[in-house]
Structure 1
Amino acid sequence: MSKPAGQQDGGRTGRRPGQSGTREAILDAARHRFAQVGFDKASIRSIAAEAGVDSALVHHYFGTKQDLFVAVVALPVDPVIVLGPLNAAPIDRLGEQIIRTVVGAWDSPAGVGVLAAFRGVIAGADPTLIRTFLVEIALKDVRVRVDVPKGSGDKRIALVASQMFGLLAARKIIEIEPIASMSLDELVPLVAPTLQRYLTGDLP
């Protein structure tokens, strides 16, 4: 007896060439794969297979794997554009540049989407995707640059992330004054030295 169109052995949905719901199926599959194995190990091919579509269809809807991740996390901006100045900064100015880059993004119109994602984590949503974004995309290049002595990069990035999450909560969630209303130029000399110590200073 022939199987219904689009159905494979075991009842798994077969390849669906662009019908209604395919975009959502790809997002669901990508969300699962990114959370399960991380950004680096989740391939477009494996995401397509889980969604039951051809890899070309994933590229058609979302472009690159990073574009797909941005869609999954619902980020309002392309992290490559935002993080460009950070990755180009001299290592002894990384603390300052992180503050200028990250707080600048929070304070921009796109910051509403970032804040929404942060609120979701606080509300109990799965933090895996946000952690994946921070470690495997946003701070990946920085982690490699500050991994001195060897093996300290993960600790340094974790300390930076804790500081930035605390600053985000104080500035945007709880709105503690005067932090909430400080200008970027006021925040930089207050917070950047702590970040720089985490990144390049001696750790216990």
Structure 2
Amino acid sequence: MTVSRRTPGRRPGGPDTRGEILRAARESFADKGFAATSIRAVARQAGVDAALVHHYFGSKDELFIEAMALPLDPRVVAARILDGTREDLGRRIVAVFLGVWESDEGQQRMKAMLRSVVTSDEVARLMREGMTRMILEPVSQFLEPPDAKLRVGLIASHMIGVALTRYVVELEPVAAADLETLVDRISPAIQQYVTG
């Protein structure tokens, strides 16, 4: 008769290991915030090796995106915004941002995220830290002025205001305007933050 002996150490990945990692990540992000959460700490809390977290998620950014159930990958958004010149950056920002909201699924998920952000300090802090790292910082680095972070913050404020007006409050005629008209009207104001 062969007796199986369990070796000491962390357990290997099981059927719900991925879910346990996500649960641990959500708790860590909520308790400590984005910056203070580490892959090792999440792995320790989930009872797995850090290599397994990397296997499932690749990086802390990807773990954050999945754990927070973001409706979009902020790194993809940043790449699309930065794909071009500074002279048409304002138009790209508006087109990409509003494009995320335009599909039914995108709008539903963005509304849910926006409502969570405005009703929970913890969610707001997490989104602020995560979005700053994955979108606002790369866009700030793309700009030349010394006050680039302020400019990008003002752009974000402007675009969040547009989203609230069009998709949440549904104020007319902004809510009924076609996307191209909105992009045409809003882009010069956003470009002014970039180059003005």
Which residue among 117, 121, 146 is the counterpart of 2:117? 121
Provide the residue aligned with 2:172 in structure 1. 177
Q: Deviations over 1:111-158 (max 9, x none)?
A: 122221111112235201211232110222111122512xx1221121
Provide the residue aligned with 2:3 in structure 1. none
- 1:138 aligns to 2:126 (yes or no): no
Aligned counterparts of 1:6 and 1:51: Cα–Cα separation in 2: 18
Q: Deviations over 1:13-66 (max 9, x none)?
A: x83433566434422433354453535x64423332343321122133333332
Higher relative contact order structure (alpha carbons within 8 Å, sequence separation ≥ 6) = 2
Provide the residue aligned with 1:58 in structure 2. 53
Query: Does the C-alpha gap of structure 1 residues 37 and 6 become closer, same or farther in structure 2, counting only changes over 3 Å?
Result: farther
Judge which range, 96-105 or 192-201, deviates more: 192-201
Query: Does the C-alpha gap of structure 1 residues 153 and 190 become closer, same or farther in structure 2, counting only changes over 3 Å?
Result: same
Aligned counterparts of 2:110 and 2:58: Cα–Cα separation in 1: 22
The answer as to whether partners of 1:16 and 1:22 remain within 8 angstroms in 2 is no
Which residue among 139, 142, 145 is the counterpart of 1:148? 145
The answer as to whether partners of 1:74 and 1:113 remain within 8 angstroms in 2 is no
- 1:105 aligns to 2:109 (yes or no): no
Q: CA RMSD in A?
A: 2.6
Q: Which amino acid aligns with 2:81?
A: L
Q: Which amino acid aligns with 2:64?
A: F
Judge which range, 29-38 or 128-137, deviates more: 29-38
- 1:191 aligns to 2:186 (yes or no): yes
Q: Tell me the percent identity.
A: 39
Provide the residue aligned with 1:30 in structure 2. 25
Give 5+ residue unaligned stretches, structure 2.
1-5
Give TM-score scaled by structure 1 length. 0.78
Query: Does the C-alpha gap of structure 1 residues 147 and 51 become closer, same or farther in structure 2, counting only changes over 3 Å?
Result: farther
Secondary structure at the counterpart of residue 179 of structure 1: coil
The answer as to whether partners of 1:96 and 1:193 remain within 8 angstroms in 2 is yes
Aligned counterparts of 2:150 and 2:72: Cα–Cα separation in 1: 27
The answer as to whether partners of 2:21 and 2:53 remain within 8 angstroms in 1 is yes
Aligned counterparts of 1:96 and 1:121: Cα–Cα separation in 2: 26
Aligned counterparts of 1:89 and 1:198: Cα–Cα separation in 2: 17
Q: How many aligned residue pairs are there? A: 188
Q: Deviations over 1:58-78 (max 9, x none)?
A: 133333332211112211333
Q: Which amino acid aligns with 2:113?
A: A
Aligned counterparts of 2:28 and 2:140: Cα–Cα separation in 1: 23
